[in-house]
Amino acid sequence: MKAEIPKTYDAREVEGRWYQWWESKGFFRADAKSTKPVFAIVIPPPNVTGSLHMGHMLNHTVHDVIVRRRRMMGFNTLWLPGMDHAGIGTQNVVEKELKKEGLTRHDLGREKFIERVWQWKEQYGGIILKQIRRIGASCDWSRERFTFDEGLSRAVREVFVSLYDEGLIYRGKRLINWCPRCGTALSDLETIYEPVDAKLYFIRYPLKGREGAFIEVATTRPETMLGDTAVAVNPKDERYKQFKGQAVILPLLHREIPIIEDTLVDPAFGTGAVKVTPAHDPADFEMGQRHNLAQISVINEDAKITAEGGPYQSLDRSEARKRVVADLEEQGLLSRTESLLHNVGHCQRCSTVVEPLLSTQWFVKIKPLAEPALAAVEDGRTQFVPPNYAKTYFEWMRNIRDWCISRQLWWGHRIPAWYCDDCGEMIVSRTDIERCPKCPSSKVRQDQDVLDTWFSSCLWPF
């Protein structure tokens, strides 16, 4: 008796059955003992922050076409599947779930919070793996990996310690991107710049010893003037030659600060004179390094004014701006304001305005790593298609800053550094430390910070 062909195609019934049969027969498994030519790729591991989206579907479909073609050509083919723990992203979504219950991660404590994240991973990780199977992706599931697996975590620690021993990883106090809402440092890539309707404030800084004379600066952030340590002009700007070597009195706080010359200053912006706040602006930080300027932090991690801000202490940064502007106006030191479309950094995860802050963090030295990568394109060993993208690459790599890799989070690979409370020794180690090798005290504690998720995710192909 002939089987009747259904009038409609039931994808769920047909595809699910066939995929189960493919997997049970081991059609997607790579053979470690095979002598066939090898073709291997790794899946870009989806984050365990939720279910997959159309971008994943497109990506996985393209990979699957390539993998299946190689398998049909007789290659010993491996498509390695897995998932990414996605540090800050996953912590964010779990914190949002806790907020619905009226809780914060601090209410649970670190250990209980991490347990909660693992529960999330098991729930949504399972959904993701089913979705990948559902679209027919021919992955070798016998080799499935997660970036928190024991072996992968050991590799992360190995790379950290190796780079530290080579002098490519260091701990230092530098200007970083800080998200007041997430309570952590961010990398430049996690800081998204968006145009914002802002104001340009023109402020008069009285010249020291010259009654009624002043130099006018333009700024988009008047509240940070509380941490100013100089006023800068371009050395080629003839308008300010007369002020060389002089000083001004910082409005509101009445500190004496110098007028300096620096080629970084754009004579065409504002008045051609700018306030310099090394502790709250990346360009000002570099300028401060060149001119040996003091670094005064006037905004803290909660985005509130510190004690260095004098009468404005404890005010939120937005309220401080209003108060500073009002006081400048009252004292006749605010000459005018102009409307301005201004690019402002926002946290990629929560869209909070990012605050540049001085902070002690862990960094990777980028220049020694960027130089061979630049050379590979410059001498033609690596080529961009289309070629004009090489220009973008060069601009990026030649202007790249040291990478801040520490995060003040709980979900992630802990930084393998320990501190001795008795002698102050810092130990970076591949294995856990229980006793200081220097004193030798047992009062040692591991660094509380975790690594930027990309520090481990970028090791995925290895």
Give the number of other Cβ atoms within 10 Å of residue 72's Cβ.
9
pLDDT at 31: 95
pLDDT at 2 over 80: no
Alpha-carbon distance of 133 to 81, in angstroms, equals 11
Question: Helices in 26-149 by DSSP H: which ranges?
Answer: 54-72, 87-100, 105-108, 110-134
How far apart CA 357 and CA 397 sit, in angstroms, is: 23
Q: Is 241 helix (H, G, I), strand (E, B) or coil?
A: helix
Task: Please name the residues in contact with 135: beta carbons below 8 A apart, sequence gap of 6 or more.
Answer: 57, 60, 61, 64
- Predicted confidence at residue 175, as pLDDT, reads 95
Q: For position 30, what pLDDT does the model report?
A: 97
CATH class of 189-347: alpha beta
Check if the beta carbon of residue 302 is closer than 8 Å to that of residue 357: no
Per residue in 286-316, pLDDT (tens digit) is 999 999 999 999 999 999 999 999 999 999 9
- Per DSSP, helices labelled H in 258-316 are 282-291
How high is the pLDDT of residue 49?
84
DSSP per-residue letters across 362-426: EEE--HHHHHHHHHHHHTTSS--SSTTHHHHHHHHHHSPPPEE-EES-SSSPBP-EEEETTT--E
CA nearest to 354, candidates 220, 219, 223, 190: 190
Distance from CA of residue 202 to its chain's centroid? 32
For the cut 70, the answer to whether the pLDDT of residue 390 exceeds it is yes
Tokens of 128: 């993701």
Peptide bond into 45 cis (omega under 30): no
d(CA 179, CA 184) in angstroms, rounded, equals 6
Lowest mean pLDDT among 1-10, 62-71, 277-286: 1-10
Residue range 29-48, pLDDT digits in tens? 999 999 999 999 999 999 89
What tokens were used for 59? 């990506």
**pLDDT tens readout for residues 409-438:** 999 999 999 999 999 999 999 999 999 999
Q: Where are the domains of the chain?
A: 11-146, 189-347, 366-457
Residue 1 has pLDDT above 70, yes or no: no
Phi, psi at residue 447, to the nearest 5°? -55, 135
Task: Give the SS3 label for residue 62.
Answer: helix
Task: For residue 256, give the 3-state DSSP assignment.
Answer: strand
Write out pLDDT tens, residues 238-264.
Answer: 999 999 999 999 999 999 999 999 999
Which tens digits make up the pLDDT trace of 154-182?
Answer: 999 999 999 999 999 999 999 999 999 99
Instruction: Place domain 11-146 in its CATH homologous superfamily.
Output: HUPs (3.40.50.620)
Q: How far is CA 78 from CA 16, 140, 213, in A?
A: 22, 6, 74
The phi and psi torsions of 376 (rounded to 5 degrees) equal: -65, -30
For 244, the 3-state DSSP assignment is: coil
pLDDT tops 60 at residue 146: yes
Instruction: With 0.95 as the threshold, say if the pTM is over it.
Output: no
* Contact between residue 138 and residue 67 where contact means Cβ atoms under 8 Å apart: yes
Whether omega before 251 lies within 30 degrees of 0, making that bond cis, reads: no
For the record, the structure tokens of 451 come out as 């690594």
> In the prediction, which pLDDT does 430 show?
96
How many other CB atoms are there within 10 angstroms of residue 238's CB atom?
A: 8
Model confidence over 192-209: pLDDT tens digits?
999 999 999 999 999 999
d(CA 166, CA 170): 10
pLDDT at residue 29, rounded to an integer: 97
Q: Which two tokens stand for residue 118?
A: 């693992």
* pLDDT at residue number 13: 83
Helix or strand (DSSP H, E) at 324: helix 317-330
Task: Annotate 365-385 with b (16+ C-beta within 10 A) or e (fewer).
Answer: eeeeeeeeeeeebeeeeeeee
- Contacts (Cβ under 8 Å, ≥6 apart) of 212: none
What pLDDT score was predicted for residue 266?
94
pLDDT in tens, 203-243: 999 999 998 899 999 999 999 999 999 999 999 999 999 99
Q: Kindly list the strands in the beta sheet with 426-428, ordered across the sheet, starting from the edge strand earlier in the chain.
A: 426-428, 417-420, 444-446
CA angle 66–71–76, rounded 5-degree value: 120
Please indicate whether residue 52 or residue 137 has the higher confidence score (pLDDT).
137
Residue 462's pLDDT band, with cuts at 50, 70 and 90, is confident
User: Using omega within 30 degrees of 0 as the cis cutoff, is the peptide bond preceding 386 cis?
Assistant: yes
